[in-house]
Amino acid sequence: MDCIFCKIANKEIPSDIIYEDESLLVFKDINPLAPVHLLVVPKVHINSLNDISESNSSIVSKIFELIPQIAKEMKINETGYRVISNCGKDGDQTVEHLHYHILGGRKLDSSLG
Ligand code: AMP
Ligand code: ZN
């Protein structure tokens, strides 16, 4: 499958990985929009939020259990941060492999769109 995040998960292309376990990967966004800009990515290929269902939603729990740990490690847990998952064309999703952006390290704009 020609999916850039599957390739990153399979170590076929390099990335700046800051956390890895058997099911999840966290790496730095190649085009950071904030001092801390990480992507939390399941190793299993899921296209987008639209494809989350009862059969695979346990990965979403794992992602949201991991996020506060990563925030603490990056020292943004107290100052705060934003978690975003873009979905589809109108959501401006550019990589069709489910991922959650973690943005922090500065005061973010209040606009969401
Ligand atoms: P989205 O637009 O929500 O689908 O987010 C995709 C994100 O992946 C963008 O913020 C890109 O900068 C980022 N990205 C694309 N290719 C890579 C890569 N090879 N390594 C790290 N981040 C990437
Ligand atoms: Zn993929």
What's the CA-to-centroid distance between 37 and ligand 1, angstroms? 10
- Tell me whether residue 113 is in a domain: no
What's the length of the chain? 113
Model pTM score: 0.97
Residue 77, token pair as written in the block: 């847990």
- Tell me whether residue 14 is in a domain: yes
Q: What is the domain range of residue 69?
A: 4-107
Atom from ligand 1 closest to the CA of residue 91:
3
Beta strands in the chain (DSSP E): 17-20, 24-28, 36-42, 81-84, 100-104
Q: Please report which ligand is nearest the Cα atom of 84.
A: 1
Q: Which of 92, 109, 88, 95 is nearest to 42 (CA)?
A: 95
What is the overall mean pLDDT for the chain? 97
- Model confidence at 61, pLDDT cuts 50, 70, 90, reads very high
CATH number at residue 38: 3.30.428.10
- Tell me whether residue 112 is in a domain: no
- Looking at the 3D structure of the chain, how many domains does it have? 1
Question: What is the rounded average pLDDT of the residues 74-103?
Answer: 98
What's the CA-to-centroid distance between 95 and ligand 2, angstroms? 8
pLDDT value for 72: 98
- Tell me whether residue 16 is in a domain: yes
- Tell me whether residue 9 is in a domain: yes
- Local structure of 34: helix, strand or coil: coil
